[in-house]
């Protein structure tokens, strides 16, 4: 990406080289993990569908997998169809069993050169960023990371990628000049999840990879899977209770956990609290933490700095508790309570407990009335 | 072991403010710092040197002021520092940056062969995490991103084993030297520089390389010309139209406030209400 510090160039109409005009279609890289398509790929299919429709071109998924994935790989293609893809490019090979930079870069580069898409989107995951950076360099084309908005310039069909810069204080729109494909990554939970259309199908285009294990330098010695029980799935939680420095001391973080427990919510945190070691690093919400999109986000003792805000402003309903009436978080929360976390949090825990218990004891019909 | 660590000088984005009236960035007085993510890379390189011997060279591409960042790295223990600086580099995006840095690292390698190249995970101003992969690609090095731990280096066998943060778990990877590592944050704790290093850093020469010294062969690949992307627009995020609805009750107890809040959520956010009902 260009430095935002560089003077902003007035965008001139891009006239593409003859050779590049052949590049057509929107691609989404379909990431999968242990038998299931990564949600970010589905979110990207939703966004890719809109771009493809605007351009009047097809939307394709790209599925790369080991040969032993067999039927599963076709299942990933089917999922892509149900979320909007018209076709899928399927590449299976022995060397694609576990993700490694070298064979995946070669495979995706081969596919791009063979079928020439104008846009290629990947999730901004550890895999997507690793792969996108290598592929863009190999193809000598532009890549915009962590976009929050994608659109088509009606004048010249180019992709307008908008992303936060300077830690989120500003947004900038990046265009790729005379290079194709135009590449972008998007973080999980930034784009909305599209509805699936069960039964929708499409065509599969298979393509081989000419690479043998002996050609590949890097070997995976072991994969240590995270223990699902204690790795928080923050990005996909529907309710999050998050605490910040305003809690004052580590013991007070228990007030956050208590409320989260009553609500069946995940616990989140601002960065200073993570850095002080009050909670694990993977609970950090924000620019250098996770992007979340819950239905309800309760922020207690969090000032609402831009780096925190960019990670959670997609929540449907934000409740802020802060003893400073001028705290920035009140600028964008839906509800605010000015008060001390030490008294407000326990009161909320109690109130939600009573409410949920009462609802639980109501017969379902009455509850709906 | 000879490690080259890529560091960038960046504005401390925590201190950047947007002018409330003109909506422009107020850059004056914003201190420049070493990109915080690069310090984890530097520390890892220093540890390998302390353990196995060898040297650590730090390199940065940027304006002459970026020398300050390199001096900081020297004071923390780096042995040599090179600033790649030339007007021709101005306006570079990550692709052009990785081209220039790769050329310069090759030049460094002519003086003393390079075993490992380190970068940070990402910068806090560019934030693309692309320069590391870009350098690796251009130099034909094996790429190891998001490394959380270096398990073992066997210089005699030219092998390295690392742990890499992946989706859903940790990959233990083995590869050949030389290779490029992008270091994950919080994977180590930066040392405090020693007094002798601080004294040395103040006196030591930071070599400045222009595009010729850096070994740039193709000038169409650097600076603005070598950049496939441009920034076409910069703007401030639109503020939410309405501010928070404040829940306040005169002489209200915390319990009253909590009850009032629950009532307002139920009234305005039926989706949240439904979610809560499912959890009852
Ligand atoms: C490159 C970079 C990346 C960053 N990434 C992130 C990120 O991913 N996530 C993140 O969160 N931050 C991030 N930050 C840090 C961010 O700039 C802020 O410093 C941070 O979000 C502030 O955390 P806080 O709101 O908990 O603390 P503070 O800003 O200290 O705010 C504490 C708040 O608590 C209130 N308070 C105090 N006492 C009480 C009380 N008794 N009751 C109620 N309220 C009280 C205060 O009024 C204040 O508003 C990043 C910064 C940089 C430079
Ligand atoms: N101008 C530069 N000079 C030296 N290293 C850089 C420069 N730009 C980026 N890097 C390195 O590349 C990493 C990733 O940067 P980025 O792609 O901008 O997120 C950084 O952590 C640095 O280690």
Is the confidence at residue A367, as pLDDT, over 80?
no
- Kindly give the number of the ligand 1 atom that is closest to the alpha carbon of A287: 8
Distance A119 CA to ligand 2 centre (A): 25
Q: Which residue has the higher pLDDT, B129 or A315?
A: A315
Cα–Cα distance between A350 and A348 in angstroms, integer?
A: 5
Check: CB of residue A300 under 8 Å from CB of residue A256.
Answer: yes
pLDDT tens, residue by residue, B64-108: 999 999 999 999 999 999 999 999 998 888 899 999 999 999 999
List of domains in chain A = 20-215 (3.40.50.620), 234-364 (3.40.50.1220)
Give me the interface pTM, i.e. the ipTM: 0.88
pLDDT tens track for A201-240: 999 999 999 999 999 999 999 999 877 555 668 988 999 9
Residues 6+ apart with CB under 8 A from A42: A79, A83, A193, A194, A196
Report the gap between the CA of B175 and the closest CA in chain A (Å).
4
Residue of A nearest to B95 (CA): A137
pLDDT confidence of residue B21: 65
A159 touches chain B (CB under 8 A): no
Q: Using only C-alpha atoms, what is the Rg of chain B?
A: 24
Residues of A in contact with B147 (CB under 8 A): none
**Does the Cβ of A78 fall within 6 Å of ligand 1?**
no
Q: In sequence order, what are the residues at sequence separation of 6 or more whose Cβ sits closer than 8 angstroms to the Cβ of residue A134?
A: A101, A105, B133, B136, B137, B143
Q: Give the Å distance between the CA of A366 and the centre of ligand 2.
A: 60
- What is the C-alpha separation between A219 and B175, in angstroms, rounded? 6
Instruction: Measure the CA–CA gap between B45 and A207, rounded to whole angstroms.
Output: 41
Closest atom of ligand 1 to A303 CA is 49
Q: How far is the CA of A164 from the centre of ligand 2 (A)?
A: 18
A237: its two tokens? 């939680």
Phi, psi of A181 (to 5 degrees): -75, 165
Integer-rounded Cα Rg, in Å, for chain A is 23
List pLDDT tens digits, range B143-161: 999 999 999 999 999 999 9
Percent of chain B topping pLDDT 70: 95
pLDDT at residue B131 greater than cutoff 60: yes
**Average of pLDDT values for A263-271?**
96
Q: Which of residues 240-259 of A touch B (CB under 8 A)?
A: none
Say yes or no for a CB contact (<8 Å) between B272 and A138: no
Q: Is the CB of A301 under 6 A from ligand 1?
A: yes
pLDDT of residue A170: 81
Q: Which two tokens stand for residue B16?
A: 């950047």
Minimum-distance CB partner of B170 among A141, A224, A336: A224
Tens digit of pLDDT for each residue in A65-79?
999 877 899 999 999
> What's the mean pLDDT in A356-361?
77
SS3 B63: coil
B245 contact A CB<8A: yes
Q: Burial, B224: exposed, middle or buried (Cβ in 10 Å; 0-12, 13-18, 19+)? A: middle
pLDDT at B192 over 50: yes
- pLDDT at res. B13: 72
Q: What is the pTM of this model?
A: 0.88
Residue A360 has pLDDT above 90, yes or no: no
> Which residues, in sequence order, are CB contacts of B274 under 8 Å at separation 6+?
none
Which of A1-10, A17-26, A71-80, A211-220 shows the lowest mean pLDDT across its residues?
A1-10
Residue B30 banded pLDDT, cuts 50, 70, 90:
confident
Atom of ligand 2 nearest to the CA of B84: 3
Please name the residues in contact with A251: beta carbons below 8 A apart, sequence gap of 6 or more.
Answer: none
**pLDDT digits 0-9 by tens, A120-157:** 999 999 999 999 999 999 999 999 999 999 999 998 89
B231 contact A CB<8A: yes
Q: Spell out the domains of chain B, with CATH numbers in brackets.
A: 2-221 (3.40.50.620), 240-280 (no CATH)
Contact, A83 vs A194, CB < 8 A?
Answer: yes
Chain A residues with CB inside 8 Å of B257's CB?
337, 339, 344, 347
Residues B159, A217 contacting (CB under 8 angstroms): no
Contact present, A253 and A279 (Cβ < 8 Å): yes
B227 pLDDT more than 70: yes
Q: What is the pLDDT of residues B257-269, one digit of tens each?
A: 999 999 999 999 9
Contact B125 A335 (CB under 8 A): no
**Atom number in ligand 1 closest to CA A327:** 49
Per-residue confidence (pLDDT) for residue A5, from 0 to 100:
42
The ligand placed nearest to the CA atom of residue B126 is 2
Tell me how far the alpha carbon of residue A330 lies from the centroid of ligand 2, in angstroms.
Answer: 35
Dist CA A33 CA A95 (whole Å) = 16
């Amino acid at each position: 990406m260009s430095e935002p510090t560089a003077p902003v160039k007035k965008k001139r109409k891009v006239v593409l080289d003859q050779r590049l005009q052949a590049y057509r279609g929107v691609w989404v890289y379909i990431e999968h993990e242990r038998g299931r398509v990564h949600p970010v790929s589905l979110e990207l299919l939703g966004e890719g569908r809109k771009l493809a429709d605007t351009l009047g071109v097809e939307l394709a998924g790209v599925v790369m997998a080991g040969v032993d994935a067999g039927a599963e790989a076709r299942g990933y293609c089917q999922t892509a169809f149900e979320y909007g893809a018209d076709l899928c490019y399927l590449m299976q090979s022995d060397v694609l069993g576990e993700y490694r930079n070298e064979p995946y870069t070669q495979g995706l580069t081969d596919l791009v050169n063979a079928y020439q898409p104008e846009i290629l989107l990947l999730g901004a995951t550890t895999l997507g960023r690793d792969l996108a950076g290598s592929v863009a360099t190999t193809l000598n084309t532009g890549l915009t990371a962590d976009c929050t908005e994608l659109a088509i310039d009606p004048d010249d069909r180019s992709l307008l990628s908008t992303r936060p810069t300077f830690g989120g204080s500003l947004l900038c729109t990046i265009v790729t000049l005379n290079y194709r494909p135009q590449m972008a990554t998007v973080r999980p939970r930034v784009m909305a999840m599209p509805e699936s259309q069960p039964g929708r199908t499409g065509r599969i285009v298979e393509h081989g990879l000419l690479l043998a294990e002996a050609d590949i330098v890097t070997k995976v010695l072991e994969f240590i899977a995270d223990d699902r029980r204690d790795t928080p799935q923050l990005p996909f939680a529907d309710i999050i209770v998050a605490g910040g420095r305003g809690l004052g001391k580590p013991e007070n973080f228990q007030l956050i956990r208590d409320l989260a427990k009553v609500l069946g919510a995940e616990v989140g945190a601002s960065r200073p609290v993570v850095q002080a070691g009050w909670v694990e690093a993977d609970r950090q919400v924000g620019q250098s933490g996770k992007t979340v999109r819950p239905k309800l986000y309760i922020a207690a003792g969090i000032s609402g700095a831009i780096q925190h805000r960019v990670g959670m402003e997609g929540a449907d309903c934000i409740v802020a508790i802060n003893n400073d009436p001028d705290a920035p978080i009140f600028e964008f929360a839906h509800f605010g309570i000015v008060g001390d976390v030490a008294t407000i949090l326990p009161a909320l825990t109690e109130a939600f407990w009573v409410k949920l218990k009462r609802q639980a004891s109501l017969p379902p019909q009455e509850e709906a009335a | 072991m000879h490690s080259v660590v890529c560091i960038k000088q960046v504005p401390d984005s925590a201190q950047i403010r947007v002018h409330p009236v003109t909506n422009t960035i107020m850059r004056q007085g914003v201190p420049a710092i070493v990109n915080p993510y690069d310090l984890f890379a530097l520390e890892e390189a220093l540890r390998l040197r302390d353990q196995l011997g060898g040297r650590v060279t730090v390199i940065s591409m940027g304006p002459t002021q970026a020398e300050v960042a390199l001096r900081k790295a020297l004071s923390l223990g780096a042995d040599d520092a090179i600033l790649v600086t030339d007007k021709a580099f101005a306006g570079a995006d990550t692709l052009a940056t990785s081209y220039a840095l790769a050329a310069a690292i090759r030049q460094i390698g002519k003086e003393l062969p390079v075993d490992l190249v380190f970068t940070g995970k990402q910068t806090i101003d560019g934030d693309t995490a692309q320069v590391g992969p870009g350098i690796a690609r251009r130099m034909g090095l094996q790429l190891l991103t998001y490394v959380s731990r270096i398990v073992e280096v066997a210089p005699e066998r030219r092998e390295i084993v690392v742990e890499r943060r992946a989706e859903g778990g940790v990959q233990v990877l083995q590869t050949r030297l030389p290779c490029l590592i992008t270091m994950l944050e919080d994977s180590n704790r930066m040392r405090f520089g020693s007094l002798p290093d601080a004294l040395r850093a103040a006196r030591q020469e930071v070599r400045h390389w222009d595009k010729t010294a850096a070994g740039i062969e193709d000038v169409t690949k650097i600076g603005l010309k070598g950049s496939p992307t441009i920034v076409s627009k910069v703007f401030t995020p639109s503020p939410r139209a309405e501010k928070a609805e404040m829940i306040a009750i005169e002489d209200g107890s915390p319990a009253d406030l909590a009850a009032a809040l629950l009532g307002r959520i139920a009234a305005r956010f039926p989706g949240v209400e439904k979610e809560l009902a499912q959890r009852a």
